[in-house]
Structure 1
Amino acid sequence: MTDLQSDGRYQITGIYSFGRGLIKRPVIRGDETSYRRMARLRTGQVVMSKLNAWEGALAVVDESFSDTYVSPEYPVFSINSENAHIGYIEHLLKWPELWNRLTPRGSMVRRKRTTPVTLLATEVPLPGLAEQRRVADKLDILMEKIGTMVAISPGAEDACQLAVSGLDQVLARWATGTIRVDEVCELVSDTVHPGDDPSPAKEFVGLEHVESHFGVRTGSRPLGDEKGRKFRFASGDVLYGYLRPYLNKVWLSDRAGLCSVEQYVLRPNGVMPGELLSAGLRSKSTLDKVLDATHNLQLPRLRSGHLMAMEIPGIPRDRHKQAVADVNAFMQKVRTLDNHQRRRDELLTAVRPALLKAAFNGQL
């Protein structure tokens, strides 16, 4: 342990949960903490979080974290090189079964700490050094291959980017110019207070029920004992989330309901169908304008006047049917791609613990 000097500067290190390794925290002065002593990390040591060890907050220290500091809440251990290979231990600390063996029992689990005694008393598979090296080397190769697959393969975030950027291209095929939002819809503020009759609404759709970028409702909740005022919307209205608008939560409703007052209710006036209004509001060109208008705000909110004055692709009436079909076909393809990518990501995520399980059960 190192005695802290009040005017000294110390690079602090923390630990991610779920085997994700160490993280550098801000540099602090010695007089900025109540701790008088901290441990100075060295390459090859093991460090553990007392509070979160049971959910994978353990790691081997690599060179980039050598000479950083951890508080007494992070016990530090040396590896006995005569009995344990550092590469084997590094993989062992990422093994979910080890975390499970460290999990406190009983109530108030999250307030319980894993002590150094508990970690040292926990039994783990430990074959001879030669076998440890073999297992570690094989796991290194396999984990590197998985990492490469993740790095070079498009992920779910790529489908989100395509969902917004591709809409500009689809709409441009049919647009003859631009049109202001307030020329194609009106802003409706049909307010329902607690105790009012919400009819014909039977459910509530909040921002949490709308998926970012895809224009899809992912859920709702039945009405009952509503607190605070809500907006009533009708089938065919477009709901636009103006709180944290970078989330790009825009939904064309297919039912009547209530929504939060953090959403604008836009009612198409017949100049363009709701499908094209919704697509135009979700497109990258519109999202970029929204980000420019709100990026300096601590809690981003898009003013209604700003939204209604924005311009989106203007599509003539004789092209509406084809444009709507084109938008729907494009979004269906993007949603299919997103589903495939999410499934692939889930499978890749599951491969790592499966390999560790096989390795520490003598099956690798």
Structure 2
Amino acid sequence: MECRVRLGDVVKVVKRGVKPEPGIVYRHYSLPAFDNGMRPEKVDGDTIRSSKLVVFPNTILMNKLNVRFKRVWPVLECNDRSIASTEFMPLKVEGADYWYIYYYLISPALTSLIEGMRTGTSGSHQRIDASSFLGIQIDLPSLKNQEAIGRILRAFDEKIELNNRINDYLAAVCDSVAESLGVDGSSVLSDMCSQTSAKIACSAASPESYVSTESLLPNKGGRQLASSLPTTGKVTSYQAGDTLVSNIRPYFKKIWYADREGTCSGDVIVFRANEPDFAPYLYSILRSDSFFEHVMAGSKGTKMPRGDKGQMMRYPVSCNCGEEILKTLASILDQISLNNRESARMTALRDSLLPKLMSGEIDVSQIDLTQLNNRLSDC
């Protein structure tokens, strides 16, 4: 039987501060780590300059800042050295199904509601207040239906997570290839590619293909949809096979291999291989840690360093990449692109089902979860 309750009746804020200690390695649940595929960072305490929150098992980290990004992090297991940014509210679910509450927290309806509850003077730094958040009224179906809804939506996320793990393994192969070929002693990056800067009107930018420094994910995490499009000036055009790299704060290692044509911000550098067949190999070189270290060595500025475009092109490379290796790299990047597109479809389908399941428009008792899992595993 459905009932109406306050969100605070089924979740509690479990907040305990901690000052990280030098010499101890922590699992850090930070906002950049969330954006990088929800992978906690391993960080030594002496590099952390501010107090953090203790992370407990079976909690949900709810981001208070820029809630439109839906940074909601389920944490089922963690060690006793797990900490989180104070921009998160750690929530403990009590008296409801864990996964049902998680999916409610990422639902479009809740996101729209709490966006109107933000406080603060700056639009980009407005936060939600915990007491107002916990006072939200929600419709809670029977525990049996909550569990069924959670399992259905979780099936989609498990498929997405599998695709992400496969992509990580494939990207590691690219890294290995680039490292094994090393440098040939005479070639530099400019012998292999150029930086394209073809400009077109910003009206040509579309949500599906516009790339900003914000939409590129740290630690070689690829890209997500940009939160906004430019309204004035010009944008840079790119094509499939180009490699896009953020030129702001290169130490974030933001890079993406384009699987389509589109447009990007002027702060995103577009590298294009002189020979199209070398495009996958070029991407493998540019995603190496040594390339980003090279860029940082020539960067200018302290608070927001930018790479020197000319210095980048003097990065030592090897142009000796055989035809079979090039074919292998092309196949790997094609598969990564297919997995990403499938995950995007899964996410869209999950998000379309979410409000219908929660409202009762779709009767969960009529869904065969075994059949759904079999269909998803065949995708």
Indicate the TM-score class for this superposition, using the shorter chain for normalisation: 0.3 to 0.5
Normalised to the residue count of structure 1, the TM-score between the two structures is 0.47
- Structure ID, larger Rg: 1
TM-score (norm 2): 0.46
